[in-house]
Amino acid sequence: MANKLSYISTAAVLVVLLILLSDPFMLWMPAKAQMIALLAAAALACLWAGFVLYERSSDEREALHTMHAGRVAYLSGITVLTIALIAQGLAHAIDPWISIALGVMVISKLAARLYAERYL
C-alpha cells in the first residue's frame, strides 16, 4: 500500500508542477528565478517518476499488469503528441520537439522490440 501511495503522490506532484510550469490560463507571471526553480523541480520530478521510481513484479499476473500499463502509457503519449502535431500543423507552427518526441518514442519501441526478439 505504501508503494502505491508513493506512485500516486509522485504522479500528483508531477502533474501539479507541469501545470504550474505551463500556466495554461496565464494566471501568474513568475520571475525568472521562480521559473528556473520550477523548471528544475519539474525536471527532477520527471526524472524521478521515469527512472528512479520503478516497479517490481513478483509473478506473471503483476508482470502482465506492468506491461499493460506501459502499453497504455505509450499509446497515450503517441495520441497526445499526434494531436499536438496536427493542431500545430494546422496553425503552421510546428514545434520541432513534438516531432522529435514522436520519433524517439516510435524508434525506441522498435529498437526494444527487435532487441527482445533477438536476445531475450
What is the pLDDT at residue 112? 92
Helix segments in 1-120, DSSP class H: 2-22, 32-47, 60-90, 96-119
Distance CA 12, CA 29 (A): 23
pLDDT band (50, 70, 90) for residue 27: confident
Q: List all residues 6 or more positions away from 63 whose beta carbon is below 8 Å from its beta carbon.
A: 57
pLDDT in tens, 29-72: 778 888 888 889 989 988 888 777 776 767 888 888 888 988 99
Query: 66 is written with which cell numbers?
Result: 506492468
All structural domains of the chain with their residue ranges: 1-54, 57-120
pLDDT in tens, 76-103: 999 999 999 999 999 988 899 999 999 9
Distance CA 6, CA 33 (A): 29
Statement: the pTM of the whole predicted model exceeds 0.95: no
